[in-house]
């Protein structure tokens, strides 16, 4: 699936209140895409005004990783491609650019509503017309999907996405301070380290309970890190380089403060 590697490299409705209250700003596309990340369970699916049978619904799953979407049926990829969001519109719009599967090379025009752990999508499977809402005329032939994000285990509910100050102790005792950004990427995490405008390291991490394991690379070097997630959130860990002599170093990640 060469398209997938290309998309990964390419990564990456104003709400109204009382008349005397200022309108809430729309979220940025980047922030909105963060909320899409991961695997979603399909709770309901309608096509042309008719509900899909419960047995078929159980076989479906939707995944978002970076700016990539994957629709699965029976464990197999049914459609996959890239996602384009516009949270400034009302209703908010989504374009699903199909690169693999049914409707390849087409664009599914849709709208979405994201509320907590529930995501609702309404789109044209034929890619001809964008729906105006989530209760379309049955004759339009639109698909309406209601998705829910499974609740994480109790020991994974502490949110770790955000900006951190990294204090890394090298083998010679030298302390190196950098900035780290943790973002969601599908069911995993992307971690980037910078110093000023310079990119230092990029890592991919997996979480299991209060443990975060990461593999990272930089120019001419690669390594692994393991952290214990503490309240704050605060990540306390150790690292070593791949193919090195086995020397380890320590690192602490604490939430970034503007005075930093």
Same domain, 6 and 107: yes
Same domain, 83 and 139: yes
Three-class SS of the chain: CHHHHHHHHCCCCCECCCCCCCCECCCCHHHHHHHHCEEEEEEEEEECCEECCHHHHHCEEEEEECCEEEEEECCEEEEEEEEEEECCCCCEEEEEEEEEECCCCCEEEEEEEEECCEEEEEECCCCCCCCCCCCCCHHHCCEEEEEECCCCCHHHCCCCCEEEEEEEECCCCCEEEEEEEEEEECCEEEEEEEECCEEEEEEEEEEECCEEEEEEEECCEEEEEEEEEECCCEEEEEEEECCCCCCEEEEEEEECCCCC
For residue 234, give the CATH number of its domain: 2.40.128.120
Same domain, 112 and 33: yes
Q: State yes or no: pLDDT of 27 exceeds 80.
A: yes
User: Which of 116, 148, 180 is the C-terminal boundary of a domain?
Assistant: 148
Q: State yes or no: pLDDT of 13 exceeds 60.
A: no
d(CA 249, CA 254): 17
Convert the pLDDT of each residue in 47-100 to its tens digit. Answer: 999 999 999 999 999 999 999 999 999 999 999 999 999 999 999 999 999 999
User: Which of 133, 148, 163 is the C-terminal boundary of a domain?
Assistant: 148
Q: State yes or no: pLDDT of 10 exceeds 60.
A: no
User: Which of 148, 172, 200 is the C-terminal boundary of a domain?
Assistant: 148
In the structure encoding, which two tokens stand for residue 197, read together?
């405008």
With respect to residue 260, please indicate whether it lies within any of the assigned structural domains: no
For residue 142, give the CATH number of its domain: 2.40.128
Question: Largest Cα–Cα distance of the chain, in whole Å?
Answer: 71
pTM of the model: 0.85
pLDDT above 90 covers a percentage of the chain that reads 81
pLDDT-derived band of residue 18, with 50, 70 and 90 as boundaries? very low
**What does the mean pLDDT of the chain come to?**
90
Distance, C-alpha 37 to centroid of its chain: 2
Same domain, 93 and 188: no
Q: State yes or no: pLDDT of 21 exceeds 80.
A: no
User: Which domain range does residue 196 map to?
Assistant: 154-255
């Amino acid at each position: 699936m060469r398209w997938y590697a290309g998309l990964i490299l390419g990564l990456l409705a104003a709400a109204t209140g009382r008349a005397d209250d200022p309108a809430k700003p729309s979220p940025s596309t980047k922030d909105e895409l963060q909320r899409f990340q991961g695997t979603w369970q399909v709770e309901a699916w309608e096509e042309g005004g008719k509900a899909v049978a419960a047995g078929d619904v159980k076989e479906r799953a939707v995944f978002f990783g970076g700016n990539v979407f994957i629709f699965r049926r029976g464990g197999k990829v049914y459609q996959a491609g890239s996602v384009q969001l516009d949270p400034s519109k009302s209703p908010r719009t989504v374009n699903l650019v199909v690169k693999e599967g049914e409707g390849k090379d087409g664009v599914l025009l849709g709208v979405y509503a994201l509320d907590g752990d529930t995501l609702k999508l309404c789109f044209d499977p034929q890619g001809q017309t964008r729906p105006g809402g989530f209760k379309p005329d049955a004759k339009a032939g639109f698909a309406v999907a209601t998705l829910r994000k499974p609740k994480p285990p109790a020991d994974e509910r502490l949110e770790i996405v955000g900006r951190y100050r990294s204090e890394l102790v090298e083998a010679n005792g030298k302390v190196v301070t950098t900035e780290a950004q943790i973002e969601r990427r599908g069911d995993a995490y992307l971690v980037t380290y910078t110093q000023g405008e310079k990119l230092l390291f990029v890592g991919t991490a997996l979480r299991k309970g209060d443990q975060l394991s990461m593999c990272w690379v930089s120019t001419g070097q690669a390594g692994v890190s393991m952290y214990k997630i503490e309240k704050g959130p605060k990540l306390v860990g150790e690292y070593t380089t791949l193919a090195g002599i086995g020397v380890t170093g320590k690192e602490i990640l604490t939430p970034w403060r503007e005075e930093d």
